[in-house]
Amino acid sequence: MAVLTALTAPPLLAPVGAIIAGLQGLERGDAVSRLPRFGIIQFDRIAGAFDAMAARRRAATRPAR
* Structure confidence by residue, pLDDT tens digits, 33-54: 789 999 889 999 999 999 999 9
**Residue scoring higher pLDDT (27 or 12):** 27
pTM for this predicted structure? 0.73
Amino acid at residue number 29: G
